[in-house]
């Protein structure tokens, strides 16, 4: 049984822990005067960040947890404030005395520590990587994120569900379409309406375009991280051309506001462009396949084993490149248009690189199949109270959104970005690689920082 998420919400006189699995959902009620819960992290290692997040936001203690350090609350965040509790209404907080964060390290003769971040060159968002090194060889890595606690889940509480679109679509730029589709799915569930198949095809078209854009960006940057800058130049041109076309059909270069009640896509323009793009991507793949120095760095580097991928609940390209057959698009809707899960086996940088080509080609074929001329639309007049879940395969992996609507407003919004689970397995891929390969391995997963900073 696969753990998808563990999260909490506050009820009238208790805290409710929700364990979401692929086969069932379990709810546990904790009285406010005794907020203790059994940890499940020994069985499901990815639960440890989820439990640490719950502890920081609600004040729940997890019994027998193997890691009780703060996750969201950094060195000066007051430890007695719980920002997801209903009584937390502060606009500003008084910072506490600085308390150093106890990183996991390996000590020993000739072992030294290397800190990378949280501030990085370029436009990378803040994130810290703490290495224990023996010469160039990496002995251990700890990933520490959450430097921008944006309070997105809290921000949406008390609002009309239809009034949070602007927030949802801007949570993570490379997953904007995926977030919007999950949000619209929940609106449809709560309004007790069915989104017409033709409109779903248009939503799926934009989702696959977002996937193509993300993968095009990655194939250029992954190659650049082994010094093959020509690939970045070609990849960047393909990305820019595709983003311009995406902007034309979506109304925005990053897809903000693209998923709407009524949507028209110019397939007459889009399909010829994609056919031309497919030829250019095929040239790119053939060209780079003949560069031995690239594959000397790609092969055997950054291996995520099948067992570790399953153990940590990894999703998306990271999972499928290691042989895990998991994709939220494995449903009747997608399969009726010829969807076939793409996967590889070795779990190395080379497989994550090549899998992106496989998915680009398949996304183009899916978009051709999605083509529809109909003008169906939907209307969300009112939202019914209830609890609603949505699952969308973003360009990074399975995105999970939960919304509880109570008395017509959002009582709880919870988001589990695919990066939140994938980052936890990242340290297993870098053991005994050299620190110079860290940027390459990191880019081969290309996880979101923003998806964690909720």
pLDDT, mean of residues 422-445: 92
Dump pLDDT digits (tens) for 24-70.
999 999 999 999 999 999 999 999 999 999 999 999 999 999 999 99
Provide the b/e sequence for 79-100 (b: ≥16 CB within 10 Å).
eebbbbeeeeeeeeeeeeeeee
Instruction: Identify the three-state secondary structure at position 419.
Output: helix
pLDDT for 180 equals 98
CB within 8 Å of 272: residues ≥ 6 apart: none
What is the three-class DSSP state of 191? helix
pLDDT above 80: residue 391: yes
Tokens of 203: 């939503």
> Is the pLDDT at 375 greater than 80, yes or no?
no
pLDDT of residue 326: 96
**Which structure tokens are listed for 299?**
């092969």
The mean per-residue pLDDT over the stretch 391-413 comes to 97
Q: What is the pLDDT of residue 121?
A: 77
pLDDT at 372 over 80: no
Task: Check whether 164 has a pLDDT greater than 70.
Answer: yes
Cα→Cα distances 139→113, 403, 418, 433, Å: 10, 41, 26, 8
Q: Is residue 373 over pLDDT 70? A: no
The two structure tokens encoding residue 216: 């095009």
With a cut of 90, say whether residue 120 has pLDDT above it: no
Residue 313 pairs with which residues in a beta bridge? none
Q: Domain 152-445, what architecture?
A: Orthogonal Bundle (1.10)
Greater confidence, 431 or 412?
412
Whole-number Å distance between alpha carbons of 210 and 253: 10
Full DSSP string of 316-374 = HHHHHTTT----TT-SHHHHTTT------SS-SHHHHHHHHHHHHHHHHHHHHHH----
Q: What is the pLDDT of residue 378?
A: 85
pLDDT at 47: 97
Q: Which two tokens stand for residue 101?
A: 């964060």
Q: Specify the pLDDT at position 193.
A: 93
Q: Where in the chain is the domain with CATH 1.10.645.10?
A: 152-445
pLDDT of residue 91: 83
**Residue 364 pLDDT > 80, yes or no?**
yes
Model pLDDT, residue 90: 83
Q: Is 5 exposed, middle or buried (0-12, 13-18, 19+ CB in 10 A)?
A: buried
* pLDDT tens digits, 274-310: 999 999 999 999 999 999 999 999 999 999 999 999 9
Comparing 194-208, 224-238, 375-389, which segment has the lowest mean pLDDT? Answer: 375-389
Residue 205 clears pLDDT 80, i.e. is over it: yes
pLDDT band at 380 (very low <50, low <70, confident <90, very high): confident
Q: What is the mean pLDDT of the chain?
A: 94
31, 6 Cβ separation under 8 angstroms: no
């Amino acid at each position: 049984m696969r753990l998808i998420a563990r999260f909490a919400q506050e009820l009238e006189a208790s805290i409710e822990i929700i364990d979401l699995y692929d086969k069932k959902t379990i709810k546990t009620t904790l009285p406010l005067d005794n907020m203790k819960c059994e940890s499940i992290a020994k069985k499901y290692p990815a639960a440890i960040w989820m439990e640490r997040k719950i502890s920081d936001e609600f004040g729940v203690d997890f019994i027998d947890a193997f890691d009780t350090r703060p996750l969201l609350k950094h060195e000066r965040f007051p430890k007695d404030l719980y920002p997801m509790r209903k009584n937390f209404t502060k606009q500003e907080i008084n910072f506490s005395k600085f308390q150093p964060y106890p990183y996991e390290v390996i000590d020993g003769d000739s072992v030294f520590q290397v800190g990378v971040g949280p501030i990085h060159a370029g436009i990378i968002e803040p994130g810290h990587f703490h290495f224990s090194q023996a010469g160039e060889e990496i002995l251990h890595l700890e990933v520490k994120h959450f430097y921008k606690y944006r309070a997105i889940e809290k921000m949406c509480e008390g609002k009309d569900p239809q009034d949070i679109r602007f927030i949802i679509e801007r949570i993570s730029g490379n997953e904007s379409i995926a977030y919007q589709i999950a949000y619209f799915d929940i609106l449809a569930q709560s309004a007790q309406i069915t989104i017409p198949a033709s409109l779903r095809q248009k939503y799926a078209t934009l989702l696959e375009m977002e996937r193509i854009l993300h993968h095009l960006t990655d194939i250029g940057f992954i190659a650049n991280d082994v010094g093959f800058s020509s690939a970045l130049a070609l990849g960047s041109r393909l990305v820019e051309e595709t983003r311009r076309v995406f902007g034309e059909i979506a109304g925005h270069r990053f897809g903000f506001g693209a998923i709407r009640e009524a949507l028209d896509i110019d397939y007459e323009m889009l399909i010829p462009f994609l056919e031309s793009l497919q030829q250019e991507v095929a040239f790119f793949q053939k060209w780079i396949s003949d560069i031995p120095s690239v594959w000397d760095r790609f092969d055997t580097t950054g291996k995520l084993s099948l067992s570790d991928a399953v153990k940590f609940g990894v999703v998306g390209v990271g999972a499928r490149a290691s042989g895990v057959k998991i994709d939220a698009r494995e449903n009747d809707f997608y399969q009726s248009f010829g969807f076939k899960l793409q996967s590889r086996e070795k779990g190395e940088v080379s497989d994550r690189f090549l899998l992106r080509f496989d998915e680009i080609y398949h996304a183009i074929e899916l978009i051709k199949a999605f083509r529809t001329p109909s003008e169906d639309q939907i209307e969300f007049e009112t939202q019914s109270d209830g609890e609603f879940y949505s699952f969308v395969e973003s360009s990074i992996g399975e995105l999970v959104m939960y919304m509880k609507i109570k008395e017509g407003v959002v009582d709880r919004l919870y988001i589990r970005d695919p990066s939140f689970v994938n980052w936890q397995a990242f340290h297993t891929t870098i053991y005994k690689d050299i620190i110079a390969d860290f940027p390459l391995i990191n880019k081969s997963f290309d996880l979101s920082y923003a998806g964690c900073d909720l």
